[in-house]
A and B are shown apart, each in its own frame.
Chain A
Amino acid sequence: MSNIMNYSYLIQNMFGEKNSIWGTGSALPGAFQFSQLNSGVVQSQLKAAGIDTGSRQYKAVIQKMAEGGCTSGMFTNVQAIKNLMKQYNSDGDYVGADGSVVPGMLVSGDADSSSWHKMIDVSEEYRQKIFDMVKEEFIKENGVANGDTTNRSSVYRAYQFSIDKSDRLKGTWSLQQYESKYSKALYDAVKAANPDWKVGKSFDTSILDNVTRESVEANLKISSNTLKSIDVKV
């Protein structure tokens, strides 16, 4: 069994600095007060631990800690900084421990989403991909929007990586506008052919043969920040 040793307290002693005192008075290896972050001792410890203090990852972590309320008297440690840095990419974007966050898609919890509710051009490739997915799932699930089986997250993720980071929030909003209209068009087509049809009941799938991405889009127009059907009934 491997034994992981922390030698940072030796480095502290080597530099002749007083150990950080932890709670009951015992010295905790690798721990220091946030105010000591830029001291020579701590910077040496960080470098000894393989941390590049000039990297964007490091800067992003320290900025996040400071903004998050880590005041000068609070205690942190080298390994905590290292663990946090693993969740950032080389550009300093938070991507999560498993890489599930697409850069450009991270927003503050109290952000006003209307600021990115803007229609931008979505490539034909991804409009077609989302249409194919919507139609396939609509048929498979008899019109039920099933969160357990849908593949929509992976289509969105692929789309986000295909466009510029600064366009990802707006692009996602725009793609979702199309998705919503495709779904509505499929529902309307089945309902028009069979007015008694209810979501979840099987239907003759040939009804949807003539519902194509092009046919749906022919009846859409961009209105303000959304996509609207042209044949709006008043």
Chain B
Amino acid sequence: MKAVSKKALTAVIACMMACVMFVTPVFAATNYFSKTTVKLNAYNGGSSTVSALSSGSVSGSERSITSVSLYCNVSRGSDPYTLYVQSPEGTTAILDGPTSSTTLTSNAFAGEDPEGKWKIWIVNSGYTTHGNVYPVSTVTVTLKVYYEY
């Protein structure tokens, strides 16, 4: 029984070594950029200003976004809102805005090229949960875009 286990173990190790030797994967380099919006303020069903964030210079010639994270720094007493994030290619992700500070992630942009201007804005949902006279939402968003090249 022990001999069989030893043989099996040897076979597994040999197999793994063969994999390492002949099927070494090519790892893509990775990078990210991070930008923060101005304070986004939306009132009574209206839209905030649109904050345009440039990727700046990005690395490589064939780039592909792996993930996007959004840290939402929400002002106390904010009413519900919707968060919109638009990539340079025009894909626009719609997210339920958190009413307390938190980080959201989105895979909606996976595979896109991050180069260019990103746009972020919020829209107040038009109803209140905080007893405000009119609903109001205020948030600052930090966008982090991770990509490989």
Query: Which residues of A come within 8 Å of B, CB atoms?
Result: 22-23, 28, 34, 61, 64-65, 68-70, 74-77, 79-84, 87, 94, 96-98, 100-102, 105-114, 117, 143-148, 150, 152-153, 156-157, 160, 169, 172-173, 176, 179-181, 183-184, 186-187
Given A109-B85, A180-B63, does the pair A75, B127 have CB atoms closer than 8 Å? yes
- For B73-92 the 0/1 string (1 means CB < 8 A from A) is 00000001011111011111
Taken together as a complex, chains A and B put the C-alpha atoms of A76 and B50 apart, in Å, by 24
Residues on the B chain within 8 Å of A108, using CB? 93-95, 108
Q: A75-B128, A81-B126, A97-B46 given as contacts; is B92 within 8 A of A152 (CB)?
A: no
Can you list 17 pairs linking A and B with CB atoms under 8 Å apart?
A: A65-B126, A69-B125, A74-B127, A77-B44, A80-B134, A96-B47, A98-B47, A108-B95, A109-B106, A111-B108, A143-B61, A147-B57, A152-B88, A173-B111, A176-B112, A176-B113, A181-B62
Q: Chain A: which residue is nearest B133 at the CB level? A: A28
Are B89 and A109 in contact, with the CB atoms below 8 A?
no
Question: Considering the complex, which residues of chain B in the window 93-127 have a beta carbon less than 8 Å from any beta carbon of chain A?
Answer: 93-96, 104, 106-117, 119, 121, 123-127
Partner of A101, one of B92, B108, B114: B92
Number of A-B contacts (CB under 8 A): 182
Question: What is the predominant secondary structure among interface residues of chain A facing chain B?
Answer: mixed
Q: In residues 35-78 of chain B, which contact A (Cβ within 8 Å)? A: 44-47, 50, 54-63
| Candidate in A76, A173, A186 with the most chain B CB atoms within 10 angstroms | A76
Cβ contact within 8 Å between A172 and B86: no
Contact B80 A69 (CB under 8 A): yes
Known interface pairs A70-B126, A96-B50; 5 further A-B residue pairs with C-beta atoms within 8 A, sorted by A's residue number: A76-B127, A83-B45, A96-B47, A108-B108, A152-B115
Whether, in the assembled complex, B129 has its beta carbon less than 8 Å from a beta carbon of chain A, the answer is yes
Contact of B125 among A68, A107, A157 (CB under 8 A): A68
Knowing A147-B117, A152-B115, A180-B63, say if A107 contacts B127 (CB, 8 Å). no
Q: How large is the interface on B (under 10, 10 to 19, 20 to 34, 35 or more residues)?
A: 35 or more
Chain A contacts for B82, CB-based, 8 A: 64, 68
A147 to B65, CA, bound (A): 14
A101 to B93, CA, bound (A): 10
Q: Which of B88, B94, B121, B135 contacts A107 (CB 8 A)?
A: B94
Q: How far is the CA of A4 from the CA of B141 in the complex (A)?
A: 33
Q: Hey, which chain A residues are within 8 Å of B135, CB to CB?
A: 76, 80
In the complex, the answer to whether B45 meets A145 with C-beta atoms within 8 Å is: no
Q: In the complex, which residues of chain B have a beta carbon less than 8 angstroms from the beta carbon of A183?
A: 61-62
Decide if B123 touches A87 in the complex (CB within 8 Å): yes
Chain A nearest Cβ from B31, distance in angstroms = 11
- CB-CB under 8 A from A173, the residues of chain B are 111
**Chain A CB within 8 A of B131 CB:** yes
Nearest-neighbor residue (CB-CB) of B125 within chain A: A68
Given A153-B116, A180-B63, A183-B62, are A147 and B88 also a contact pair (CB < 8 Å)?
yes
9 closest A-B pairs (Cβ-Cβ)?
A147-B55, A80-B45, A80-B126, A109-B95, A83-B45, A97-B47, A187-B61, A84-B45, A76-B127
